[in-house]
Every structure is written in C-alpha cells, then in structure tokens.
Structure 1
C-alpha cells in the first residue's frame, strides 16, 4: 500500500541585530519555538522557492532577499503528525538572509541563535557550558557496551567539541548538535522517543519544535562555511558601513572574536570593499570611514569571501 507524502517548506531566516545573529521563529501548539513553515501547494507553486517566498510574503508582508536551498529533511517520525498516523512529512529547508524583516504580521519573534546552540558562541572566550557538556558526554561514553564503542564515543566527543586537546572547529555546528541528540542530551531526543525527559536529565540549549533545531544548526553551519568563499555577509549589513561594523557582523556569525588588523587587511586587500569618501560620525568616538561592498570582486575572484576565520589571539 502506498503512503501519502506531504512536502513542507521551512525557512531559516537569519538577521544580525545589535551584534547578535537572530533567527525568525513562530510558536506551535506545543508552545515551543519553530521555524516559519508552510506546505507546498503543488497546484499553484511552480517552484519550491516561489512557494517559500509566497508564504513568507503572506505572513510578513515583505519580500525575502537572498535565499538558497539548504537540505531536505525526511527522517521517519520527524513530525508528531506523522507519528500519530498521518502522512510521511518531508521538509525542504531554505536559508534566507535579511537586514530587516518585521515579523509582527505573523506573530513571530526574532530569537538569538546562540540561545538554542550556546556552545557555538566563543566571542567572550570559551563557553562555560562546555565543561558540563564534556562531563555529560564522558558519562555517555562510559555507558557503551564495549571498549571499542567507548573509544569511538570519546573520540567523537573530543573532535566535535574541541576537548582533550583537540582544536575547536567552528564549522562542525551540525555534528555537535547531532552528537548531543544521539547522546540523549537534548529535549528533542526524548520527545522523539515519545517520552518527557525526567527532571534529572541533563539537557543543553533551548529546545525547538520537531527537528527545527537540527535545521537551524544546518543553516548556521552552511552560513559559516560560505563566509569563507562567498560575500554573504553583505546581505546582512547596510549598503554603507564602517569596517568595525562589518567585523562585528562576521564575528556574530562565526561566534569568534577576530584580530582587527588581520580582518581589515583581508577585506581591503582582497578587494571586497571600497571607500565611499564619507565619514560616519555616529560611532560615539572617533569618526570612521564608510565603505561599501565592491561588486566587481565577483568577476575578479572565484571565491570572494572573508577567508578561513581564525580567532583573535590564536
């Protein structure tokens, strides 16, 4: 017997406000935040992207700017409606970047990304939550049934979270979330098994509905990776900006503090920006030069991004 399939569209809509990366969320019946989503209408949606843009326009009254397809999520049981006997739920997720997208019309909220993934923000040095995560994952590793499995779990923990002398890799966002999920250290991993977590359970990060935190982690990983070779950061900043403002946006997305002189040398010598001849007097201190994105770099370089990101002082 064939089984019905429903195709949904999800959007990881990211903006940087007050030097914080934020994602647009709405609330489902469980009161948990979720990513904006809507069903594909096979009769009227000529393409998936047009369908996505259409319901975002309907919900917010605004047009999305930069959009790219992220991934298709279709694990069995990923949606409670499916677990209750409904159709198989597939979701095509998109990453969207915007400078300003009011959410009032949809009843949505801009929420800080690092509330859901607090171990990803290293701008104020090493996150303290990593100590608790390390202890919880060590206990999980010791529960393995064989020595080989214990070693495999311990190695995966060290590589993903930069523990035991392993270096931190800012691009392993999804791998870190999936490790915590698999170890039963997220709220979602309990709910997906049909159980409420006990009060004694060690859970990390704010939960989201369904598998939307996995989708968010996938979007943040994609965004961090593309910073290296695509000028996506300029989709999130005004047309004219100071180099300090540009650096803070990149730092917010990367979750790292960057060496100021190295960053400025990279964006200027790489031809990413050009001077406007104007001065910003609103900085609260010494007036700063205003720059703009130099679009000619798209023709001149195959990979016009900000390069591999190294934290300040390392």
Structure 2
C-alpha cells in the first residue's frame, strides 16, 4: 500500500561547477569555469552554473552527469560531490535544495555546446565573472576553495592537464590554483622524486620557445604508492 506523507517535500536539484585550464599555445592561462546562459525564468538571460532538477528514478550522480551533458555537451569527465545548499529563499520558484558537484576537464577534445534550457554555454575566468543567478556565486566559491585545498594532497590537478604535458605547464597549473608562485627548482625536484610522472620520450612541437620534454601522469604508480601510505603533497 503506498504511503501518503503529511509533510511538504522540497524540490531537489544538482548544480555543477566545471573547472578547466586551456594550455593550447598559452602558458599564462588561468583557471576557468563553465557557465550557461539561462533561457527560462527565473533569471532568464542571466548566467548560472549548469544543473537542474533530479528525476525521481535517478541517483544524484546520474542527475549531475545528465544535466552536465544536456546543458553543455560535456561527458566522461572527473566529477565529485561537493556540498548541499539549502538556504531558505535561494530559489524564488519554490523551496529548493541543491546538491553541488565540481568537475575537472582538459579542454582538448571536449566540445562545449548549449542545449535544453540553456541559451548559451561559455568559459569564464574565475577572476572575472558576471553576476550569477540564485546562490551560484557561493556554490562556485565553495568549489574553488575545495579545489585549492584538495590539490595539495591528491593529484586531481592532472585531470586539468592534457595527456602529455610539460613540467612548466604542471607548475603553472598549481600556481594558478594555489594563487602563489612556486620555486621552479624545488617544485620539479619534488614532483620528479615522487615518480608519479614519467617522460614520454617526446618534446613539444610548434612552440615559439625552446621545446620542453613531455611527461604523463602515472596513475598506476600513484595507486601503488597510495596502498603503501604515500602522501602526495605540493
């Protein structure tokens, strides 16, 4: 026999903060975030994080992946649950609780396109954002702080890099996320001593500066070290 609940049930949504860094021909890149331009009220025409309502027959993770693909075209990228936001009045339509996620993506090989209820989808510098709908500025700031904290002890930053990268690019990534300069010699010594990056035997091509060696992240080596109690720390 079906149950009848006497309590009102708030609506449930997911919102996703997608971070990226574009290394295509540029070393002085910055941390970027994906925003969609809403095509529906409220905040029609305004910028927001991709997301939407959770369907009754799907998990939170499935809802986040679906909304991300529907609104931006992104799929098969690093996705992690972040935090739950449930302040009263955060959505003018009704009582809405959202479970936020953050995602990391290397722009190479990922085409971004707007669809469903999104008028447009675009990358913005985290340091130069338009006004955001709902409480998405708070959601984004929370995700930024989580990313800044987590890259210190877990190599999730490699998700933002191309498959083959230079040590210069790797150092730039950490400097951007941590918002501070790192000593070149100490950084490279520490990273190479961990033995979680391997030389590919290749060098950069079609660059204006001196071509540098290319490396790749050795996840198998990292996983083995983690089982032994390895501590990744930058």
TM-score of the pair, normalised by structure 1? 0.63
Tell me the residue number matched to 1:110: 123
Q: Within the alignment, does 1:22 sit opposite 2:32 as a pair?
A: yes
Displacement of 1:303 in angstroms is 5.2
Contact 1:267 1:306 in 2 (8 A): no
In structure 1, C-alpha distance between the alignment counterparts of 2:198 and 2:80, rounded to whole Å: 27
Q: Within the alignment, does 1:3 sit opposite 2:32 as a pair?
A: no
Q: Once superposed, which parts of structure 1, at least 4 consecutive aligned residues long, lie more than 4 Å away?
A: none
The aligned runs of 1:17-166 (5 Å cut-off) are 17=22, 18=26, 19-28=29-38, 29=41, 30=43, 31-43=45-57, 45=58, 47-81=59-93, 86=94, 88-100=95-107, 101-106=110-115, 107-116=120-129
Paired positions, count = 211
Q: Within the alignment, does 1:229 sit opposite 2:234 as a pair?
A: no
- Select which of 298, 307, 314 maps to 2:223: 298
Q: 1:277 to 1:237 in 2, by over 3 A?
A: same
Structure with greater helix share of residues: 1
Q: Find the residue that maps to 2:174 and give its secondary structure.
A: helix
Q: Find the residue that maps to 1:115 and give its secondary structure.
A: coil
In structure 1, C-alpha distance between the alignment counterparts of 2:223 and 2:207, rounded to whole Å: 30
Tell me the residue number matched to 1:277: 201
In structure 1, C-alpha distance between the alignment counterparts of 2:72 and 2:47, rounded to whole Å: 17
Displacement of 1:115 in angstroms is 1.5
Tell me the residue number matched to 1:180: none
In structure 1, C-alpha distance between the alignment counterparts of 2:32 and 2:87, rounded to whole Å: 26
In structure 1, C-alpha distance between the alignment counterparts of 2:180 and 2:193, rounded to whole Å: 22
In structure 2, C-alpha distance between the alignment counterparts of 1:61 and 1:26, rounded to whole Å: 11
Of 101-110 and 12-21, more deviation after overlay is shown by 101-110
Q: 1:108 to 1:276 in 2, by over 3 A?
A: same
Contact 2:36 2:47 in 1 (8 A): yes
Tell me the residue number matched to 2:138: 214
In structure 2, C-alpha distance between the alignment counterparts of 1:90 and 1:99, rounded to whole Å: 30
Q: Within the alignment, does 1:289 sit opposite 2:216 as a pair?
A: no
TM-score of the pair, normalised by structure 2? 0.83
In structure 1, C-alpha distance between the alignment counterparts of 2:177 and 2:150, rounded to whole Å: 11
Contact 1:16 1:252 in 2 (8 A): no
In structure 2, C-alpha distance between the alignment counterparts of 1:103 and 1:240, rounded to whole Å: 22
In structure 2, C-alpha distance between the alignment counterparts of 1:109 and 1:79, rounded to whole Å: 23
Tell me the residue number matched to 1:245: 169
Contact 2:31 2:125 in 1 (8 A): yes
**Computing the radius of gyration over CA atoms, which structure comes out larger, 1 or 2?**
1
In structure 2, C-alpha distance between the alignment counterparts of 1:103 and 1:66, rounded to whole Å: 16
Displacement of 1:306 in angstroms is 4.3
Unaligned residue ranges in structure 2 (runs of 5+): 1-5
Displacement of 1:245 in angstroms is 1.1
C-alpha RMSD of the superposition:
1.8
Displacement of 1:222 in angstroms is 0.7
